[in-house]
Structure 1
Amino acid sequence: MKDFPSPEFSSFYQQFLPKTATRATPLILLTDDDRVTRIQVRRFLEREKYQVVEAADGTEGLDAFKRLKPDMVMVDAMMPTINGFEFCTELQKIPEASYTPVLMITGLDDEKSVDRAFASGATDYITKPIHWAVLRQRVRRLIQQAQLLRYLEAANKMFQQLSLVDELTQLANRRHFDMRLDQEWRRMAREQLPLSLVLCDIDSFKNYNDAQGHLKGDSCLRQVARRISAVAKRPADLAARYGGEEFAVILPNTSSESALVLAEKIRLGLQTLKLAHPNSIVSPWVTLSIGVSSALPHQFPKRSALDLLAAADSALYQAKAAGRDRVAFFELTAPSRFQTIESF
């Protein structure tokens, strides 16, 4: 039986984990102004196989946390300048501290002090004099709980990512595309910048599948996807599998001229692969028909991203009607205008 999780899955999952989650030995930040207590606690924790970093006051402790991102924090309640309660409050303002447990060491065990400790952000507390067996169990439990929360968060991020990716081509899927197109329309409207959209359709793909079989059809889709990704590679660009043999590229802050250049690069780039297509009515090779649309969203307050999509779809229809293996352009203006770029 094949091992699970597979090495490929494990590698994919690792990218969603914070670096601290992959430490072989948990790192504990010990913040206490009493040197004797620090020495005692550090030696005990090191015997328990933890890494320990010391800080002599709250300010030093906060700086150490930002620098080292420890797996757990132990802090004394009564310190000069910044006491343990204030330290916890400041720690909560650091995003990376969301899942970092804080164990407060205190000589105060009255109800008011305990309530104040939890209210300031402490996860648990232990009283002085320290009962070492109790400390051992609380540290172990808090670190295990924090690790579990980090793994759960990583799993949620991974499954969210998987829900937005087309399994076959590894491009964004239709759901992701729809979300991003709407987001970018709104963002470009606020920033008064152009938004362009490219729709690509593999010419006579049904004939390709009939002649070559679905396995080769899948391989063809993957190769087309890689070619599109190689061209639309800016961080803000989004290449997606729109559906079946159709692909789309969202191009924020991209003029119509630049979008046309990119579309032509995609079309010509696919030709260089020379994927044989014996049943094509256009060429002996796999080709693309491409529709491009552009708009300045802030000029169309009563329109939406769906209008840009409709414009690109109209351009794609024009490219196919004009003979396929070419790029056609539709600009969302009044009056609307078409432009077809013949293939060479």
Structure 2
Amino acid sequence: MPNEVFRQARVVVIDDVQANLRLLESSLRTMGLGQVHGFSDSALGLEWLQQNPWDLLLLDLDMPAPDGFAILQALSERDRTAQQVILVTALGDAASRRRGLDLGGNDYLTKPVDLPELLLRVRNCLQLSYAHRQLEQERAALEERVQERTARLRDSYQAVIRALARAADYKDNETGNHIMRIGETAALIARQIGAPETWVELLRLAAPMHDVGKIGIPDHILLKPGKLTPEEFDIMKQHARIGHAILADSGRSSLLELAAEIALNHHEKWDGSGYPAGLKGEEIPISARIVALCDVYDALRSSRPYKQGWSVEKTQAFILEQSGKHFDPRGVEIMAGLFDEIERIRDSLRDP
């Protein structure tokens, strides 16, 4: 323990006998401790301990209220390694010793004390307290470095994900803000249904990749301004499986697994008339049911080179009308309660 740190250690002495208090204070200062705080009034001593940082307490037990036992109880939530307590008392019976140690005392000395022994125990306790604090500081610094590196990796990962999703949307005449709106709106609905925040965040990141499979659709079909023929629509529908194939072979990434699930199932419909598998009702993963709502809402509201965006009223009426048909009725109910907030998201992430 460096001498400078030793001099700065905060040591408190509480003893209702003034002679004992002065002896302990002077002895501690002779060993180089620069911050020694003595109290003969136990109530004032306890108040100081509760309002200030400290490293070591030398505590008498047999005092007017609050006695040493009451003080130990009041300090029961302290970190017992960082804030050590040496009980210095005339109560030498086994019951008092056991009670004092059980309530949080780290060491126990009976009066009259052997001062050289007391000072050795003080040094040992302060060294342990210092070592504990150093370990905590190093652990906190390590956690901060890990969090910083994790954040950098997450940011890089998210940048790649956004680039991949935008590649699909730009090919389909969509915009980067469209995919961001899908992510934010899906997270809004997921949070409202009470999903865990970790899953909400995964959905926010995964939802923008729902149409990544359109990368694999020929341009003459994907960009066709008119209605697709049945054969062309069959090819278009393949983007769900293509997206799943792109995202699913991703090892153990929970984010890409969720994105693959959404890509495969976001065109399924509640009544079973969707694709690619014709899933019905709760057979459709909840992630895909949420994204289907968000995707259709935003697509209807958005203007594109080949169409004019729908009004708020017409879009919302369509969503409500499709409850139990295209969409999960519970999802529609939740979205209806969030219509105003969804429009605020659209305003904040408006297309260029």
- If the length of structure 1 is used for normalisation, what is the TM-score? 0.52
State percent identity of aligned pairs.
Answer: 21
1:85/1:117 contact within 8 Å kept: yes
Letter in 1 for 2:110: T
1:164/1:173 contact within 8 Å kept: no
1: distance between equivalents of 2:6 and 2:176? 50
* Residues 160, 52 of structure 1: alpha-carbon distance in 2 compared, 3 angstrom cutoff: same
Counterpart residue number, 2:103: 120
1:310 is the counterpart of 2:170? no
2:16/2:41 contact within 8 Å kept: yes
Deviations along 1:103-159, one digit per CA (max 9) or x if unpaired, are 111112222221111101000011111211001100000000011111112222222
Question: Helix, strand or coil: the match of 2:147?
Answer: coil
1:138 is the counterpart of 2:114? no
Structure of greater relative contact order (alpha carbons < 8 Å, 6+ residues apart)? 1
1:69 is the counterpart of 2:28? no
Question: Helix, strand or coil: the match of 1:166?
Answer: helix
Deviations along 1:58-83, one digit per CA (max 9) or x if unpaired, are 32122111222111111101111111
How far the C-alpha of 1:92 sits from its partner, in A, is: 1.4
2: distance between equivalents of 1:23 and 1:343? 62
How far the C-alpha of 1:55 sits from its partner, in A, is: 1.8
1:105 is the counterpart of 2:88? yes
Letter in 1 for 2:120: Q
Deviations along 1:292-319, one digit per CA (max 9) or x if unpaired, are 122233444579423332213348999x
Deviations along 1:30-76, one digit per CA (max 9) or x if unpaired, are 11111111111111111111121112233212211122211111110
1:49 is the counterpart of 2:32? yes
Aligned residues: 210
How far the C-alpha of 1:90 sits from its partner, in A, is: 1.0
1:86/1:120 contact within 8 Å kept: no
1:57/1:79 contact within 8 Å kept: no
2:56/2:126 contact within 8 Å kept: yes
2: distance between equivalents of 1:134 and 1:78? 21
Gaps of at least 5 residues in structure 2 are 164-169, 223-289, 303-348
1: distance between equivalents of 2:162 and 2:57? 49
2:81/2:129 contact within 8 Å kept: no
* Residues 78, 296 of structure 1: alpha-carbon distance in 2 compared, 3 angstrom cutoff: same
1:336 is the counterpart of 2:295? yes
Counterpart residue number, 1:81: 65
* Residues 38, 24 of structure 1: alpha-carbon distance in 2 compared, 3 angstrom cutoff: closer
* Residues 151, 315 of structure 1: alpha-carbon distance in 2 compared, 3 angstrom cutoff: farther
Question: Helix, strand or coil: the match of 1:103?
Answer: strand
Counterpart residue number, 2:345: none
How far the C-alpha of 1:336 sits from its partner, in A, is: 2.8
Question: Helix, strand or coil: the match of 1:69?
Answer: coil
2: distance between equivalents of 1:116 and 1:88? 10
Larger Rg: 2
1: distance between equivalents of 2:162 and 2:15? 59
1:76/1:105 contact within 8 Å kept: yes
1: distance between equivalents of 2:93 and 2:13? 23
Question: Helix, strand or coil: the match of 1:105?
Answer: strand
1:154 is the counterpart of 2:137? yes
2:90/2:110 contact within 8 Å kept: yes
2: distance between equivalents of 1:316 and 1:63? 63
Superposition RMSD in Å: 3.8
Deviations along 1:167-212, one digit per CA (max 9) or x if unpaired, are 7xxx4543xxxxxxxxxxxxxxxxxxxxxxxxxxxxxxxxxxxxxx
2:57/2:86 contact within 8 Å kept: yes
2: distance between equivalents of 1:247 and 1:102? 56
* Residues 333, 62 of structure 1: alpha-carbon distance in 2 compared, 3 angstrom cutoff: farther
**Residue 16 of structure 2, aligned match among 33, 39, 62:** 33
* Residues 152, 313 of structure 1: alpha-carbon distance in 2 compared, 3 angstrom cutoff: same
**Higher deviation after alignment, 133-142 or 304-313:** 304-313
* Residues 62, 315 of structure 1: alpha-carbon distance in 2 compared, 3 angstrom cutoff: farther
Letter in 1 for 2:24: V
* Residues 59, 146 of structure 1: alpha-carbon distance in 2 compared, 3 angstrom cutoff: same
Counterpart residue number, 2:157: 242
* Residues 54, 120 of structure 1: alpha-carbon distance in 2 compared, 3 angstrom cutoff: same
Gaps of at least 5 residues in structure 1 are 1-20, 175-239, 249-281, 283-287, 323-330
* Residues 172, 55 of structure 1: alpha-carbon distance in 2 compared, 3 angstrom cutoff: farther
2: distance between equivalents of 1:45 and 1:138? 11
- If the length of structure 2 is used for normalisation, what is the TM-score? 0.51
1:289/1:316 contact within 8 Å kept: no
* Residues 63, 75 of structure 1: alpha-carbon distance in 2 compared, 3 angstrom cutoff: same
2:81/2:128 contact within 8 Å kept: no
How far the C-alpha of 1:161 sits from its partner, in A, is: 2.6
**Residue 90 of structure 1, aligned match among 50, 54, 74:** 74
Deviations along 1:13-38, one digit per CA (max 9) or x if unpaired, are xxxxxxxx978521101111111111
